[in-house]
């Protein structure tokens, strides 16, 4: 089993590459963003609070996201877990270490996807996803082959996220630099950090991640 974290700012390509690893290697993607969007759609009191925080681009409390991850870790991890968008604070990183240790597992690599802010703005504002299968697209770099129809499942339920706008993105980036970027030093000191060029073309980014994973086996 190989457990990895994909670390990077909003729009770095974490979700895109996680989906690829699920397909190519049989790993299990754990995206706290996706889990929170599901909770948000549940219409519960907790879901409504989460929706408000996410729309502003702020971070949801550690307590909620750690609880969500803990639940998912109980399931079969296939060839390994891909933590996508988690951890995002030092508290979450400590909690993840404890949860993995309790399961007799460890973290094999933390892959930091480096992308500059300018590229992130165009990636985020051009993104849309399939509401049925979750495939991620982009107006310019990865449009659907047939307009309005998902290439993977054929659905016409293509959606844009409520937080994919310039205002929320500014807050999301600030949250990333203030609360999440300290994790780069945290995992560097633990000897688990690998840095890759997230600005490269999608397949080249995938190849760089594969090289890191192959070194772990």
For ligand AP5, which residue of 25, 49, 72, 142 counts as binding (CB under 6 A)?
142
Identify whether 56 is a catalytic site residue.
no
Binding mask 149-188 for ligand AP5 (x = CB under 6 A): --------------x--------x----------------
Identify whether 160 is a catalytic site residue.
no
Q: Which of residues 61-80 bind ligand AP5 (CB under 6 A)?
A: 65
Q: Which helix (H) or strand (E) holds 115?
A: none
CA 167 to chain CA mean position, Å: 20
For ligand AP5, which residue of 44, 48, 141, 216 counts as binding (CB under 6 A)?
141
Burial class (CB in 10 A: 0-12, 13-18, 19+), 189: exposed
Residue 7 main-chain phi, psi, to 5 deg: -115, 135
CB of 119 to ligand AP5, least distance (A): 8
| # residues near ligand AP5 by CB under 6 A | 35
Rounded to whole angstroms, the Cα distance separating 142 from 137 reads 5
For ligand AP5, which residue of 2, 3, 7, 10 counts as binding (CB under 6 A)?
10
N-term to C-term CA, the chain: 9
- Among the candidate windows 59-67, 71-79, 102-110, 181-189, which touches ligand AP5 by CB under 6 A? 59-67
**Tokens 């999440």 sit at which residue?**
180
How many Cβ atoms sit within 10 Å of the Cβ of residue 171?
A: 16
| Active site positions, annotated | 14, 88, 127, 161, 172
């Amino acid at each position: 089993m190989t457990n990895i974290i994909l670390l990077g700012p909003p729009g770095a390509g974490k979700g895109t590459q996680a989906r690829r690893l699920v397909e190519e290697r049989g790993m299990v993607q754990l995206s706290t963003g996706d889990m929170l969007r599901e909770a948000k759609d549940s219409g519960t009191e907790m879901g409504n609070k989460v929706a408000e925080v996410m729309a502003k681009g702020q971070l949801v409390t550690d307590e909620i996201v750690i609880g969500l991850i803990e639940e998912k870790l109980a399931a079969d991890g296939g060839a390994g877990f891909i933590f996508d968008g988690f951890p995002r604070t030092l508290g979450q990183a400590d909690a993840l270490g404890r949860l993995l240790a309790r399961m007799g597992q460890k973290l094999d690599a933390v892959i930091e996807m480096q992308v500059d802010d300018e590229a992130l703005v165009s990636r985020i504002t051009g993104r849309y996803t399939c509401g049925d299968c979750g495939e991620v697209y982009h107006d310019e770099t990865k449009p659907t082959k047939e307009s309005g129809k998902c290439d993977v499942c054929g659905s016409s339920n293509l959606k844009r996220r409520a937080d994919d706008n310039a205002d929320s993105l500014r807050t999301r980036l600030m949250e990333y630099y203030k609360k999440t970027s300290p994790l780069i030093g945290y995992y560097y000191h633990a000897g688990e950090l690998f840095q890759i060029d997230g600005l490269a073309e999608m397949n080249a980014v995938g190849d760089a991640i594969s090289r890191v994973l192959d070194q772990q086996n």
